[in-house]
Structure 1
């Protein structure tokens, strides 16, 4: 019996399972329907919110755009006003500067014209002064020649003796010279020399090792002086103690300078073995094979010797005379004054045109 009941119970169990499955499927269907209904409502709510937000954003953007436009307009107007004001100031400053430049240029032009006028006047005066100075220098040169000639004539009776040791004359130089001449120049031993004055060359006493001062001897008669000179030159070498002494004319300083200019020429002639003489006051007589030639100046002698094939050593020339310096340093008249003025005016016009290009209309 029990076994039969069990068999019956086992037979009813599948029917219950089927009922549960149906119930569950219905519940699931209801849940899905509820979910679909809620999802639709959420979707509707989200779209509405988005449209509202978009409208708000659009309104904000329009407000921002209008504000930016307003601010940009204000900024543009401010910049325009500032630029206009700055440009106006710059133009006024440039015009002021151009006015000053034009004024300075005008003043400079006036000063330049005045300077050129003064320079022209100075050139005219310089020419006149140069002519007057040239005439004065020529007259002074003639007077100097006459003065030198007078001085040379006043020294005609003098003999200058070189090489006598300082202090050898002791206290009486006149007696010492007379004794020395008669002892060294035998033809004059019995001749009355007639020495009027005798003294050392003016100037401080030199040191012991330096060249001694020369002795100036003044004879009463010119022929006695010439006799002493010719006797000394004829003997050639005269010694007093261990020093050689020389006899010569007493020349003025200007004549000594001219005679000194022949030094190079005399040295060359001695080397070549050519006989020469130096006649007073400042000449040079050279005895060539073709005959004697007398030169009045060292420049003339040097030029002629070069033509004859002699080569002279070059020496630094002394400073040129005052006449030559004056000739070099005087004003020279400027050439083409009119063209110079035209060039100056054209240059000024170019400057003015360039300045006008900076002006604003």
Structure 2
């Protein structure tokens, strides 16, 4: 009987210990559940903040892209009366650029000698002074009148080759690189249109117009 009593006491103690352990585990599980709920709440808040941040970032990207497009458009429009002229040797820079271009361009493009070009300003493109034999820098000329600039470009396009004292001269519109790349997409189409004898033109900013 004494042994059985001791056994019962031990069983009671073990059961009490087990109950205490279970209560501790229950308390721990409740705390963990509370923390999980709090963590889920924080995660949801972070996800909402990230979503809001992504939305703001996208809106800012759209605004930045729109502003960049506006700036490019303004810069391209500011250059609409500018012409790049490549091929004149470096030595001619000793002349007054406006006087030189005003006298030479009508002659090599087949325009009337008395045509007033009204060049507002002209200068070499930026770069180091080149030695003889190297590809010369371009002239950049700004015309006061848009129609005069268009007449000059049209004359350059109509002539197969433009030369001055043995130097091949190229005349083209000054544009930003991005807009130049857009217009270059029409190069193959230009060739096909010329072969078929169709009239066409590129209008600002990069619009192809065909006349038939």
- TM-score clears 0.5: yes
Assess if the C-alpha contact under 8 Å between 1:251 and 1:281 holds in 2: no
Q: Any idea what SS the aligned residue of 2:92 has? A: coil
Counterpart selection for 1:188 from 91, 112, 120: 112
Q: Any idea what SS the aligned residue of 1:212 has? A: coil
Structure 2 counterpart of 1:282: 206
Structure 2 residue 180 is the aligned partner of structure 1 residue 239: no
Structure 1 counterpart of 2:128: 204
Name the CA shift for 1:128/1:242 in 2 (closer, same or farther; >3 Å). Answer: farther
Structure 2 counterpart of 1:130: 54
Assess if the C-alpha contact under 8 Å between 1:181 and 1:188 holds in 2: no
Structure 2 counterpart of 1:159: 83
RMSD: 3.4
| Shift in Å, 1:207 | 5.7
| Shift in Å, 1:192 | 1.9
Name the CA shift for 1:268/1:194 in 2 (closer, same or farther; >3 Å). Answer: closer
Q: Which has the higher strand share?
A: 2
Name the CA shift for 1:268/1:156 in 2 (closer, same or farther; >3 Å). Answer: closer
- Once residues 130 and 53 of structure 2 are traced to their aligned partners in structure 1, the CA distance between those partners, rounded to angstroms, is 46
Structure 1 counterpart of 2:187: 266
| Shift in Å, 1:116 | 8.4
TM-score of the two chains, using structure 2 as the length reference: 0.65
| Shift in Å, 1:198 | 0.3
- Once residues 202 and 255 of structure 1 are traced to their aligned partners in structure 2, the CA distance between those partners, rounded to angstroms, is 20
Higher relative contact order (CA 8 A, sep 6+): 2
Q: Which has the higher helix share?
A: 1
The structure with the larger Rg is 1
Structure 2 counterpart of 1:144: 68
- Once residues 91 and 128 of structure 2 are traced to their aligned partners in structure 1, the CA distance between those partners, rounded to angstroms, is 13
Unaligned 5+ residue runs, structure 1? 1-108, 292-361
TM-score of the two chains, using structure 1 as the length reference: 0.41
The total of aligned residue pairs comes to 177
- Once residues 135 and 43 of structure 2 are traced to their aligned partners in structure 1, the CA distance between those partners, rounded to angstroms, is 55
| Shift in Å, 1:255 | 1.7
